[in-house]
Chain A
Amino acid sequence: MNGIQFKEYWDSITDQAFSDWFDSTQLNILAKAALYKAIEYKVATNDRQQVHDDLFSLVSMSDETGTNNFTPTYNRVDLLTTIPNYLHVLAVRCFMEEPLMASMTDITNTSPITITLDKRTKLRGRKTLSATPSIVKIANVAGNTAANGTHTVKQLSDFKYSLYSDTLLTQEVSGNGTWTGGGDIFMVWKEWAQPINSNERISEVNRAKVISPRYSIADGTLVLFPLEYACNQVAIDYIKKPTVLINVTDSAIDLESAYSQRFLYLIADELAYIAKASQKDYEMAQAAQAEIQKP
Chain B
Amino acid sequence: MTTKEIIDIFKGLPSGGYITADSRLRDGNILALVNACKNAAQKIVFEKEKYAPPQWFVPFYPEYEETWENTMCYKRFTMVDYVMLDGIVAGLGYIGSTRTNHTFVPVTSRTQLADYMNHPILRPRQNDTYVLIEATHIEVYGKPVKDLKIGIIPANPLDVPTFNYDTDPYPVDGGLLDVMKKIALNPDYNLITRTPYDKIQDGNDQTAVNK
Contacts and interface: CB of A to CB of B under 8 A. Distances in A.
Given A44-B211, A131-B2, A194-B26, A212 B31 contact: yes
A131 B26 contact: no
B29 A205 contact: yes
A207 B28 CA distance: 8
A41 B26 contact: no
A194 B2 CA distance: 20
Interface string B67-105: 000000000000000000000000000000000000000
Nearest to B31: A212
A101 to B, nearest CB: 7
Contacts of B198: none
A120 B61 contact: yes
A134 interface: yes
B78 to A, nearest CB: 11
A45 interface: yes
B210 A212 contact: no
A98 B193 CA distance: 35
Interface stretch (B34-42, B45-53, B129-137, B165-173): B165-173
B161 interface: yes
Contacts of B121: none
Contacts of A47: 21
Contacts of A205: 28-29, 32
Interface residues of B, number: 25
Question: Chain A contact residues (Cβ within 8 angstroms of B): what range?
Answer: 20 to 34
Contact of B166 (A132, A206, A207): A132
Interface residues of chain A: helix, strand, loop or mixed (majority): loop
A209 interface: yes
B162 A40 contact: no
A121 B168 CA distance: 12
Interface string A120-133: 11111001000111
Contacts of A79: none
B164 A134 contact: yes
Contacts of A101: 63, 161
Given A131-B2, A293-B204, A194 B164 contact: no
Contact of B167 (A45, A127, A209): A127
Interface of A: 37, 40-41, 44-45, 47, 101, 119-124, 127, 131-134, 189, 194, 200, 205-207, 209, 211-212, 293
Given A122-B162, A134-B166, 16 more contacts: A44-B210, A45-B208, A45-B209, A47-B21, A101-B161, A122-B164, A123-B164, A124-B164, A131-B2, A132-B166, A133-B167, A194-B27, A205-B32, A211-B165, A212-B28, A212-B31
19 contacts: A44-B210, A47-B21, A101-B63, A120-B61, A124-B164, A124-B167, A127-B167, A131-B166, A131-B167, A132-B166, A134-B164, A134-B167, A194-B27, A200-B23, A205-B29, A211-B27, A211-B165, A212-B28, A293-B204
